[in-house]
Structure 1
Amino acid sequence: MESFFQSLDLNSYVPGAIAWATNILLAALILIIGLWISGKAYKAVYGIGKKYERLDDTLFRFFGSCVRYLILAFVFIAVLNRFGVETTSIVALIGAAGLAVGLALQGTMSNLAAGVMLLIFRPYKVDEFAEVAGTFGKVTEIDLFTTVLQTFDNQKIIIPNGEIWGKQITNHSFHEIRGVDMTFGVAYDEDIDKARAVINKVLAEHPHVLKDPAPFVEVSELNNSSVDFIVRPFCKGEHYFDIKFSVPELVKKALDEAKIEIPFPHRKVILVNESK
C-alpha cells in the first residue's frame, strides 16, 4: 500500500487543481459582478423612461432588456474564456445566427422599428381616439409590434406598427377643444338670416356647445337646389360625438318649426309637344 501512494506524484496534480479552483472562483466572481452590472444597467435605462413623462415606459423597458442581455452575453463569453474555451468561433456563430434570424424576420423587424418610432414620437397615446391605417377607434394598447384599437361597435382591431408608421395618422384627442363640421341646406326662397338665427339658437341652447370660441355659421355654397350653411360648433373632445349626432336632429326640428324648407334634390322636366 505504501508503495502505491509513493508511486503517485501528488505534486503534479496540485498546480492543476489550484488553477481549476482559481478559474472557478474567478468565473463565479465574473458572473456575480456581471449579473449585478446588468441589473444596474437595466434599472438605469428604465429609469430614464420613468423620469420623463413624455417618454414611454414600454420602449425603455425593451432598451433596458437589450442592454442587460448584451452585458450577460459578454459575461458568458468571459466565463468560458476562463476555462480555455475558444470564444472567437462562438462570437462568429452568434453573429451568423443573429443575421439569419434578422433575414427570416424582416417583416417583424420592420414592425419593431416602427413600434420604436411610435413610442419615441408618440403621435397618439393609450385612451386617445385616433385614425390609423384606415381604422378609427380608441387606442387601448401600444407595444413594440402592434397597436390595438377598440371600435365603436366594440371590436378589437390589432394593427401591425409597420402599417401605421410612415402613413397619415389622425389623433382626434390631441387638442382639448374641437370643432364639429356640419352642413345644412335651406331652399333658395327662404330668408337666410332667419335660417342662420334658428341654427344659432339651437347651438346656444345645447349644453355641450362652447360659447368661446363662438360657433361658426355661414353660407358655404350655392348648391343646385339649396343654399348650404357650414356649421362648426366647438366643444370639449369628450363631447365631440354627442354634438355630431345630436345637433343635426335638433336643427331639423327647429327649421321645421320655423317653417323653413329643407329642400331635396329635384329636376325640372319640360315636355315639348312636337305634333304642333
Structure 2
Amino acid sequence: MQEYLEKLDINQYLPGVIGSATNILLAIVILIIGMWIAGAVSKFVRGLGEKHEKLDNTLFKFLGSVVRYVIMAFVIIAVLNRFGVETTSIVALLGAAGLAVGLALQGAMSNLAAGVMLMIFRPYKVGDFIDAAGRFGNVTEIDLFTTILQTFDNQQIIIPNSQVWGEQIINHSHHEIRGVDMVVSVAYGENTDAARKVIDGVLAANANVLSDPAPFVEVETLNESSVDFRVRPFCKGENYFDVLYSVPEQMKKALDSAGIEIPFPHRKVIMVNESK
C-alpha cells in the first residue's frame, strides 16, 4: 500500500481538480448573478407599467416575465458552457421546439399579438362602450388574448383579440361630448318653422341636452310623404343613451300637443272601371 502511494503522483491530478472546482465556482457565480439580473430587469419592466397611467400594467407584467425567462435561458447556456457541454445543439433544439410550439399555437399567438397591439395603442379601455367584431357592449376586461364585453341585457361576450384588432372599432366613449342623431318627420302641410320651434323647445327642456354646442335642427330630406328634420342634440357621453331613447317620445308628445301631424306612409289606389 505504501509503495502504491509513493508511486501515485498527486500533482498530476491537482490541476484537473482545481479546474473542476473553478468551473463549479464560476457556474455558481454566473447563475447567481444571472438570476439577480433577470429579477432586476423584470422588476424594472414591470415598474414602467405602474409608473405611467397611459401604459397598460398587464402588458408590462407579461413583458417582464418574458424578459426574465429569456435572460435565464442565456444564463443556463452559459453555465453549461463552463462544464464543456456543447450548447449549439441545445440552442438549435430550443429553436426547433419554439417553432413547433408557435405553429401549433398560431391562433393563440395571433390573439397575443393583437392583444399587445391593443394595449400599446389603447383604442379603448375598461368602461368604454364599443362596437367591435360585430358586437356592442361595455368593456369589462382586456387581457392579452381576449376582450370581454357586457351587453345591455347583461350577457357576457368574450371576443378573441385577433377579431377585434383586424376589424373596425367604434369607441362610443372616446369623446366626452357626443352628438345624438335622430330624424323627426312632419307632414307636408305643416309649417316647418313651427315644427322647428317645437323641436327646439323639447331639446331646451331636456336636462341632459347641452346648449354648447348648440343642437342642430334642419330640414334634411323631402320624402314622398314627409318632411324630415335632421335633429342632432349634444350631450355628455354618459347621457347618450338617455337622450337617444327619451327625446323621440318627448318629440312625439310635443308635436301632438301643438297639433302638428306626424305622417305615416300613404298609398293612393286608383280604381278603374273597365266595363264602361
Match of 1:46 in 2: 46
Aligned equivalent of 1:69: 69
The runs of 5 or more residues in structure 1 that have no matched partner are: none
Q: How big is each residue's C-alpha offset from its partner over 1:118-144, in whole Å with a ceiling of 9 and x where there is no partner?
A: 111111111111111111111111122
Q: Which amino acid aligns with 2:59?
A: L
Verify: 1:199 aligned to 2:205, yes or no: no
- Number of residue-to-residue matches in the alignment: 276
The 1-side partners of 2:102 and 2:173 are apart by 36
Q: Find the counterpart in structure 1 of residue 229 from structure 2.
A: 229
State how 1:7-26 maps to structure 2 within 5 Å. Answer: 14-26=14-26
Mapped pair 1:239 → 2:246: no
1: CA distance between counterparts of 2:26 and 2:245?
72
For the residue of structure 2 that corresponds to 1:164, the secondary structure is: helix
Task: Report how far residue 16 of structure 1 moved.
Answer: 4.0
User: Hey, what's the Cα distance between the residues in 1 that align with 2:14 and 2:157?
Assistant: 68
Q: Compute the displacement of 1:75 (Å).
A: 0.5
Give yes or no for the alignment of 1:79 onto 2:79.
Answer: yes
TM-score, normalised on structure 1? 0.93
TM-score by length of 2: 0.93
In the alignment, what sits opposite 1:153?
153
Give the superposition deviation at 1:25: 1.9
Question: Does residue 182 of structure 1 match 2:182?
Answer: yes
1:213-228 residue pairs with structure 2 within 5 A? 213-228=213-228
Q: Counterpart of 1:211?
A: 211
CA offsets 1:194-213 (integer angstroms, 9 cap, x no match) = 11111111110111100101
Q: Which residue of 2 aligns with 1:113?
A: 113
Q: What displacement does 1:22 show?
A: 2.4
Distance 1:230 1:163 in 2: 34
- Measure the CA separation in 1 of the matches of 2:225 and 2:39: 73
Q: What amino acid sits opposite 2:121 in the alignment?
A: F
* Structure 2 match to 1:33: 33
How large is the RMSD of aligned CA atoms in angstroms? 1.8
Identity %: 72
Deviations 1:88-129 (A, max 9, x none): 111110011011111112222211211111111111111111
Long gaps (5+) in structure 2 = none
Inter-partner Cα distance in structure 2 for 1:208 and 1:270: 48
What amino acid is aligned across from residue 117 of structure 1 in structure 2?
A: M
- Is the partner of 2:212 in helix, strand or coil? coil
Structure 1: distance between partners of 2:12 and 2:247: 97
The Cα shift of 1:146 comes to: 1.2
3-state DSSP class of the match of 1:262? Answer: coil
State the alpha-carbon separation in 2 of the partners of residues 254 and 50 from structure 1: 53
The yes-or-no answer on 1:126 pairing with 2:129 is no
| Secondary structure at the counterpart of residue 209 of structure 1 | coil
In structure 1, what is the Cα distance between the partners aligned to 2:131 and 2:3? 90
